[in-house]
Structure 1
Amino acid sequence: MTTGLDVTSTGSGPGGGPPAAEALRLYESMVLIRRVEERLRDDSAAGKLPGAVHLYIGEEAVAAGVCAHLEDRDYATSTHRGHGHFLAKGGDVRAMMAEIWAKREGICRGMGGSMHVADISKGILGANGIVGAGLSIATGAAFGAKLDGDGKVAVCFFGDGASNQGVLMETLNVSSLWGLPVVFVCENNGFSEFTPSAEVTSGRIPDRARAFGVPVAEVDGNDVTAVWQAAGEAVQRGRANGGPSFIEARTYRIQGHFEAESFVLSGGGYRAEEEIETWRQRDPIARFRSALTSAATVPAADLDRIDAEVADRVADAAAYAEAGEPADPELAETLMFAPEEA
């Protein structure tokens, strides 16, 4: 049985997409994510980072396109590959970099690291190293938003691997039954760690939402206009008390599952270089820039200015992180336990 609204979109280009000011904001969001991730890639390769990082290079259009519709009061949950979601939702790049560097100035005072960046003041309920854990957190936040009745929405980013977790069925069920303002965003990048999704996933992921009568949009996740359009409809539906929505964004991670994975694979591989190169040609930032300049939506000089400003911001954030104070291990006790009463 197929129920609910189905939308299949590859985007309509700048002519039917965001206005110029919004287009510039989307471009800046994607470029910021890309440059941060490239810096982390290089620092990881140089052995400068204290832990592993899972990079978002190639998937920037999903975070940017969805979060463009969110306000600080709205909620978002993320994954182990969560830097992009944090930045697109308005998280501070300096604080995030410091967190990844395990410094006291970090958003979690250096005690969370790459997979646990969060900022409640921005509605960022946190990245999560447990596959699929954000689904229930976002659904709970959406329940709270519905009780508040003030138009807030919750967004859950999760991967195709997480779609096989039982918690997806549970949260789709309860969110549909109770009409919760939650937007499920499946970033289908084709892999569950080192395994092609086709080898571990039966059927089509969007059909899981359709079975519960949840409206579905299937989009090209490397087309920020398509994502922006689908997310706009989904968020508006949630704000108008129209219940949950489901977006499957088909995309690809250019980097590995995590940096330094070659040591784990011991020289083996799980995808061909030709496949990676094919997806490089569908780079979401290059595509959007080309579309904007070809249609004369914004001058190329404005995009160049954004490129330069973002480069400066990332350099500043990296310097800030490197110069920070190491996290205080004594915080572990106070963060985990309530203080004893006098």
Structure 2
Amino acid sequence: MMQLIRAYEEQAAALQAESGAPGTCTSVGQEACAVGVIAALGRDDLILTNHRSAGHLLARGADPGRLFSEVMGRRDGYCKGKSGSLHISARELGVILTSTIVGGELGLACGVGLSQKMLHRAGVVVCFFGDGAACEGRFHESLNLAAVWGLPILFVCENNEWQAFVSRRETMLADRIASWAAPFGIDSVTVDGNDVEAVRAVATAALDVVRSGKPFLLEARTYRLRGHFEPDDQAYVDAQELASAWARDPLSRFEGSLQESRRLDADAIATMRAAAKSRVDAAVAYAMDSPYPAIDELVTDVYA
């Protein structure tokens, strides 16, 4: 799944460079966060995410052909081509919304969590956000509200060290966002976000707490290996820092672990990588063949 996400996002960036698709925010380098957390979810659990959503959608089972169709504004996309890459929702997968407003999903997650609680529905709410959103007032308001109301929400901060074009170190003095949960009476944990097995284990334990009726904050420390928004030459990133981050690439790290433990060999991993690339190529072809929405679709799905 991490290979599929990487192949999808690299292709999305390549299409943008060729003027074949709009710009997009990738999550290259953060694949272990998405896969590890979502692998721990149940079928009734709900997801709210942010502008780096492709990894979350794919890990939840989204069809890459329908995702590319959406990005390209085609009719066969999840939202009939009307959301682009930054607002995709897929209700059949439990992905309630993708918010491009930094921190926007945090407050909305409280609404979804309250709905789940009041209607006695199965499933908890998982809300993905970044370290930039953690600097917003809405982050603190949402944690407070979730704690006071006892909402079944797993807050997942993908701390990728960059807030658009600004380093996290320029915007906060604390080194751990997880520690900010304590004043609200919320338990929290920080995990190596580049270790997919560690993320899954920690997320599984955190979800047990959430299913008991208490919110929880999980901070996954990772690194954004591509720029904020394609195209982006990352000229603002120290070259040595970026090289060090690539050395901790979650895909290379997990592949090395699999080979070292003899769970998979290099040939098997290469075969999986080729299969992911083939699936992405087929998805692009599917999207290219998808028609644009008809003109009479222009104002449908706008108002309830």
1:273 to 232, 239, 245: 239
Q: CA deviation at 1:302?
A: 4.0
For residues 142 and 63 of structure 1, what CA distance do their matches in structure 2 show?
20
Closer, same or farther in 2 for the Cα pair 1:335/1:256, shift >3 Å?
Answer: same
Q: CA deviation at 1:331?
A: 2.1
2:147 to 153, 176, 190: 176
1:145 to 104, 116, 137: 116
For residues 80 and 186 of structure 1, what CA distance do their matches in structure 2 show?
13
For the residue of structure 1 that corresponds to 2:134, the secondary structure is helix
Q: How many residues align?
A: 303
Match of 1:156 in 2: 127
1:225 to 173, 197, 215: 197
Q: CA deviation at 1:297?
A: 2.8
Match of 1:313 in 2: 279
For the residue of structure 1 that corresponds to 2:23, the secondary structure is coil
Q: CA deviation at 1:308?
A: 2.7
**Residues 1:34 and 2:6 aligned together:** yes
For the residue of structure 2 that corresponds to 1:171, the secondary structure is helix
Paired residue type of 2:85: S
Match of 2:16 in 1: 44
**Residues 1:212 and 2:188 aligned together:** no
For the residue of structure 1 that corresponds to 2:157, the secondary structure is strand
Q: CA deviation at 1:179?
A: 1.9
For the residue of structure 2 that corresponds to 1:109, the secondary structure is coil
Q: Tell whether the 8 Å contact from 1:75 to 1:138 is kept in structure 2 after alignment.
A: no
1:194-213 alpha-carbon deviations (Å, 9 max, x no partner): 11111122434222211112
Q: Tell whether the 8 Å contact from 1:179 to 1:244 is kept in structure 2 after alignment.
A: yes
For residues 149 and 303 of structure 1, what CA distance do their matches in structure 2 show?
43
Paired residue type of 2:200: W
Q: Which runs of 5+ in 2 are unaligned?
A: none
Match of 1:100 in 2: 71
**Residues 1:295 and 2:268 aligned together:** no
Q: Tell whether the 8 Å contact from 1:151 to 1:238 is kept in structure 2 after alignment.
A: no
Paired residue type of 2:190: E
Match of 1:6 in 2: none
For residues 119 and 196 of structure 1, what CA distance do their matches in structure 2 show?
32
Q: Tell whether the 8 Å contact from 1:72 to 1:121 is kept in structure 2 after alignment.
A: no
Backbone CA RMSD of aligned residues: 1.7
1:160-186 alpha-carbon deviations (Å, 9 max, x no partner): 000011111111112112221111111
**Residues 1:323 and 2:289 aligned together:** yes
Percentage identity across paired residues of the two chains: 36
Match of 1:3 in 2: none
Q: CA deviation at 1:269?
A: 2.9
Paired residue type of 2:80: R
Q: Which runs of 5+ in 1 are unaligned?
A: 1-28, 263-267
Q: Tell whether the 8 Å contact from 1:77 to 1:155 is kept in structure 2 after alignment.
A: yes
For residues 242 and 294 of structure 2, what CA distance do their matches in structure 1 show?
40
